[in-house]
Structure 1
Amino acid sequence: MESAALILDLDGTFYPRSNPLTARIDALVAGLFDDYVARHQGGLRELERKFPCVLDGLVEANIERDRFYRTVYDRISYDDCLYPDPALRAAFEVLRIPKFIVSLSPVRHIRRVLQYLAIGDLFDSIVSLEELSINSKGPVYGDIIRAGNMPAQSVVVAGDNYEVDLAPALHLGCRVVQIGDATSPGDVARVGSIHDLLRMI
């Protein structure tokens, strides 16, 4: 079936987890959970295992959502991490279907990443869960599908995290593609990078 729309995650999707920006974000998130880690056996890794979505982990650790977004995303340095990507821009420009970004990250971070990659003007809509009172991307995917009057099976959803990005899309009947090498069920389509994804759509 021809693809009617593309919905993308941001972090770990537009740049690989090996990018220094990932380590900077992870360090800020880990610092926010210091008190929780000190009081619980298994520490941060056990919390991540139980709650793949960091927004659910905030609830478990009794950390305010607003504090998370301020502490992490107001302190990030983007220097020496991201650069204009002409090949990525060209691939998006020839993709003549609606393109969306749905991310846990705040809009200001999404726009900074896209600005550094020089592709910020190529997307139909950007949605951040920071602005919504939900912890799952599923309702956002559903809203996009209904607004476009598209069959769910014609919508491609791609991201690096199976539980956060792809499982809600599968529940709706979307086609999903995992980017990177994180763990996922064996029947999920997988590509190495966003460049690979755009070549196959």
Structure 2
Amino acid sequence: MSADLSHVDTWLFDLDNTVYPIETQFMGRIEVKMTDFVARMTGLPREEARALQHQYFTEHGTTLSGLMINHGLEPKVFLDEVHDVSMDCLTPDPALRAAIAALPGRRLIFTNGSVGHAERVLTHLELRDLFSEIFAIETADYIPKPSLSTFDKITKLHAIDPPKSAFFEDSEKNLVPAARLGMTTILVGPYAKDSTSEHVHFRTNDLAEFLSSARLQGSPA
């Protein structure tokens, strides 16, 4: 059955591995550069640096937060370096563009990446004009999802009514605070169907198909 999203007037989308498929392995390129950065900064062998990178991601929400907290890192240096990767593996998807364009109300990007990274990726995917705002890690004062304070900030900054909003994410843990606030949550990606979390309301491995088949405001009953 198609999802009933007829109550939604604000649409929040994560960026990486959400508005493009994880199968592109684009984020893998960024993660390689993160490991290189951590190894250079800490002096650790590469495998130990990779382990520390994932430890920080697990404990702090992003590798960046762990580096800031434990090493006093200046965030812009990290963000500029790790996001400087080729996008030749990303291809615009006309079906996804049409499905997002058909959504009634506001559409926002809600990402733990940087503003510049989001602008670059969305422009490459020919989606930038469909989103009125980008709420990025700088906007969040470098406090990443799933921090509840960051969800509070985006809802207040953009006057979002959570029960009338939907949030699309590839990370299950980032949907927990969204669900608790009353947002409709959609887990995106190849592992979504296996999720049993009560904080995930819908699951899809095909974002364009999910959106195009959903019941929206103004759709026939």
TM-score range for the pair, normalised by the shorter chain length = 0.7 to 0.9
Establish whether residue 94 from structure 1 lines up as the match of residue 102 from structure 2. yes
Establish whether residue 81 from structure 1 lines up as the match of residue 92 from structure 2. no
* Correspondence list, 1:1-201, <5 A: 2-34=7-39, 35=42, 37-38=44-45, 42-62=51-71, 63-73=73-83, 75-78=84-87, 80-137=88-145, 138-146=148-156, 151-163=161-173, 165-180=174-189, 181=191, 185-187=196-198, 188=200, 189-199=202-212, 200=214
Shift in Å at residue 40 of structure 1? 7.7
Range moving further from structure 2, 114-123 or 173-182: 173-182
TM-score by length of 2: 0.76
Range moving further from structure 2, 177-186 or 63-72: 177-186
Name stretches of at least 5 consecutive residues in structure 1 with no aligned partner: none
Range moving further from structure 2, 99-108 or 44-53: 44-53
Shift in Å at residue 117 of structure 1? 1.4
In 1, Cα distance between the equivalents of 2:118 and 2:35?
21
TM-score by length of 1: 0.83
Contact 1:105-1:128 at 8 Å conserved across structures: yes
Percent identity of paired positions between Structure 1 and Structure 2: 27
Deviations 1:102-142 (A, max 9, x none): 11212221122111211211112112112442413444543
Evaluate the alpha carbon distance shift between residue 198 and residue 42 of structure 1 in structure 2; reply closer, same or farther with a 3 A threshold.
Answer: same
In 2, Cα distance between the equivalents of 1:10 and 1:41?
23
Shift in Å at residue 145 of structure 1? 3.7
In 2, Cα distance between the equivalents of 1:102 and 1:57?
20
In 1, Cα distance between the equivalents of 2:105 and 2:16?
22
Contact 2:56-2:65 at 8 Å conserved across structures: no
Shift in Å at residue 12 of structure 1? 0.9
SS, match of residue 123 in structure 2: helix
Shift in Å at residue 46 of structure 1? 3.5
- RMSD across aligned C-alpha pairs, in angstroms? 2.7
Deviations 1:5-58 (A, max 9, x none): 110110010112221322211111111111275478954333433334333322
Name stretches of at least 5 consecutive residues in structure 2 with no aligned partner: 1-5, 216-221
Figure out how many residues of one structure are paired with residues of the other and give that number: 198
Letter in 2 for 1:102: F
